[in-house]
Structure 1
Amino acid sequence: MSPSRRVTPEVAAAREAGLRYVSDEMPGLQRRRAGKGFSYRDADGAAVRDAATLARIRALAIPPAYTDVWICALPNGHLQATGRDARGRKQYRYHADWARVRGDGKFDRIIAFGTALPVLRRRLRRDLKLAG
């Protein structure tokens, strides 16, 4: 496999969760203020009116104060939305299945670390006894 076609751990995790690995650099949905609420536009500027899509957007619970909001056009994108908070920091909303798979992976790595810890401690004690 060529280096440019190598599957990263993130892409593999998305596939494991049945999701597509996406970026907020991809075309997505935009949120615009409309009166006391918001309207949503697709990448072509057309209003989003699909009930299922609007329900998915509402379920993301994107805070109203967020600016520069990008929403994934795909319901199975690992990254569902990004936006800027009041301090200008980029905030992310991930698909629930992505968070589950990534959380499970962290737990697995902690178990492996705990298993390796006694060996690491013995090696550290031995190395600290060396002169120099």
Structure 2
Amino acid sequence: MIKNHKIAKVGAIAALAAAATFSLAACSSAADEDSSGADESSETSQVVAPTIVDVATLNGQTVDINNGSFVDITTGDTDPADWTAVVKDPAVVAFTAGGKSGDAVFNPGLQGTQAGSTQVELTNKTTGEVVTFTVNVK
């Protein structure tokens, strides 16, 4: 009986070793599949940086963006909240006012909402400065 008991122990140890090896191999395969899947999805979900323009050089310019993209308008020494916009064709771009939220300061901006071209007139309500430019959305 002692001989059979030793065989049973050796068999149990061998079975555990095989199971452990199989589990590690399965984890490795799953990790490889997950990492390759994550690589593929990261290629299609890249964030596109906004087009950054300075209000001081924007007058008379044309800004080209893709549909869904953003135009970030830097306002120099002026308060971003002082700028308002009139968009000739609001179906082409949407204006977002600048301002503060807590400690953060946000620039005014535009988002392309449909292909087309429109004129935008920015006005600084404090200084009275008016900046007119065109946005082309592809």
When the two structures are superposed, what TM-score results if normalisation uses the length of structure 2?
A: 0.21
More strand per residue: 1 or 2?
2
Which structure is larger by alpha-carbon Rg, 1 or 2? 2
